[in-house]
Amino acid sequence: MPMFSAYSLALCATVFATHLWFKAHEPKSMLPFLATILIIPTFPAYVLSCSQISLILACCLAYPSFYMLLFISIGSYRLSPFHPLANYPGPTIAKISKVWTVHKSMDGKLAHYYKMLHDQYGPIVHVGPNEISVAEKDLLPFIIGTQGMPKGPLWEGRAITPKKNRNQSNYSLIGVRDLTHHSHLRKTWNRAFSEEPLQDYQDILIQNANNLVEVLEKRFMEGSVELDIANVINLFSFDFMGDLATPALTMQIPWSVAIVQAFPWLSTSLRSFGAFAVSQAKLRASNESRKDLFYYLRSYSDVPQDSLFAFIPCEIEEAFPDSGTNIDIQKLDKMPWLNAVINETLRLQPPVPSGLQRAPAVGSKGKLVGSHYIKEGTSVLVSPYVLHRDPRYFFPHPDKY
C-alpha cells in the first residue's frame, strides 16, 4: 500500500506539473509536445514498477492513467471560473479543445458556424480554449486596425516553409507574425499592387475574361440547359490565383503542421506545393518581359434583382463600347452599378470569411481591446462573414442581396 500511495502521489505530481507546463508554454512544435507526453509518464511508471510488478505492466497502467488525468485536469481548468476567458459565453466543447473547431471546419462552413454562435451568444463568443470571436465594430481598430495586434498562432499552420528551414529571406509572408519583419517583407507586395502595376495586368485579365466568354458561348451553342456557374467562376479564378491550400487542421492546431511535415506520406502535397511555389517564383523572376497578375481576388453571387440585368450591361457597354478595349481603372471607379454589385457580393461572400486572427505580441503580457483586457496567449478572431451579416450594421435584411 505505501508503494501505491507513492505511485498515486507521483502520478498526480507529474500530471499537475505537465498541466502547468502546457499552460505556460502552448505547444507550437512537435518535439517538445511528444517529449512531454511520452517521457514524463515514465516517472510514475518507474515508481509503480518498484512494487514488484514488471515495468511493462507498470507502463500499461501509468500511461493511460496519466493521459486520462491530464485531460481531466486541463478540461476542468478550461471550464472553471479561474480561466481568463471564463466570463465569455460559448459552447462547452469548444472551450475544451480546438479539435472541435477542426471538425466544424472540415465541410468548409466554419464561418456559418461562427455566425450561428454569435446569433446564440452575442457579439463576443468563447470559441476555443484560448480564443474568442469578436463581432463588434467598435473593437475592430484595437484588433485589426492601426492600433491592432500581430497575427495569431493560427498563422503558424499556414506557413509553407518548414520551421527548421525558415530564415529572414525565405519565410512566407502569410506566416510572418512579427510586425517589423512583416512590414519589411510586405514592401514588395505593396509595390506590386499599386495603381501602375495593376494597369499592366490588363492584357492577362482580358485574355482570361475572353476565355471565360468563349466557354460560356460554347456551352450555349451546345444547347446546355443547365450550367454550374459557380464552378465555372471557380475555374476562372484558378487561372489567376494558382493552387492555394490552407488545410483546416494545420490552421486550428498550429503545431500539427510539424507532424504532417515529419511523415513524407502525409506531407507529399504540402511539400509539392511549396516546391511548386518556389519554382514558379524563380521562373517568374527570370522573365522580366511579362507583366502578369500574381493574385486575383474573385467573387460571385446570384443576382436576384431583375433590374440589375438591365443597368449593368448598359453601364459596361457605355464605358467600353468596343470588344477587347483595354480596361481603364479610372472608368471602373466611375461605374456605380458595377461597383455596387461587387461591393455587395463581397459583403455577402467575403474572400476570407473567418480567418482574421490576431493575438497580443509575444512579451507584451496583454492588450486592452476597448474595455476588454486580452492576456498574452489569448487569440482574437474576427469573422468578416459574421460582421457583414449583422443586422446592427446592415439593416434590415443583412442576408439579402
- HEC states along 318-376? HHCCCCCCCCCHHHHHCCHHHHHHHHHHHHHCCCCCCCEEECCCCCCCEEEECCEEEEC
- Percent of the chain scoring above 70 in pLDDT: 73
What is 160-211 written as a DSSP string? Answer: -S-GGG--TTT--GGG---HHHHHHHHHHHHHHTSHHHHHHTHHHHHHHHHH
Section 309-336 average pLDDT: 79
pLDDT value for 276? 58
Helical axes 55-79 vs 2-24, angle rounded to 10°: 50
Q: Which of 59-63, 229-233, 255-259, 311-315 has the highest mean pLDDT?
A: 59-63
More confident residue, 171 or 59: 59
Q: How confident is the model at residue 347 (pLDDT cuts 50, 70, 90)?
A: very high
pLDDT tier, 260 (very low <50, low <70, confident <90, very high otherwise): low
pLDDT at 299: 33
Under 8 Å between Cβ of 73 and 16: yes
Determine the 3-state secondary structure of 108 from DSSP.
coil
Closest CA to 349 of 203, 237, 189: 237
**Predicted pLDDT at 31:** 79
DSSP 21-73: HHHHS---SHHHHHHHHHHTTHHHHHHHHTTTS-HHHHHHHHHHHHHHHHHHH
Task: Give the model's confidence band at 265: pLDDT under 50 very low, under 70 low, under 90 confident, else very high.
Answer: low
Distance CA 194, CA 186 (A): 12
Give tens-digit pLDDT for 6-36: 889 999 999 999 999 888 877 777 778 888 8
Report residue 323's pLDDT band, with 50, 70 and 90 as the boundaries.
Answer: low
- Counted residue by residue, the chain has a size of 401
The segment with the largest mean pLDDT, out of 190-199, 345-354, 377-386, 392-401, is 377-386
Instruction: Tell me the angle at which helices 2-24 and 30-39 cross, rounded to the nearest 10 degrees.
Output: 170
φ, ψ for residue 114, nearest 5 deg: -60, -40
pLDDT average, residue stretch 388-400 = 91
pLDDT score for 126:
97
Q: Are 351 and 385 in contact (CB under 8 A)?
A: no
Say whether pLDDT at 266 is over 70.
no
66 pLDDT higher than 70: yes
Distance CA 137, CA 15 (A): 42
- Distance between CA 18 and CA 70 in Å, rounded? 8
Angle at 186 between CA 355 and CA 30, to 5 degrees: 55
Question: Would you state the pLDDT for residue 174?
Answer: 73
pLDDT tens, residue by residue, 280-313: 555 555 555 444 433 322 333 344 455 666 788 8
User: What are the extents of the domains in the chain?
Assistant: 2-79, 92-185+354-388, 195-348
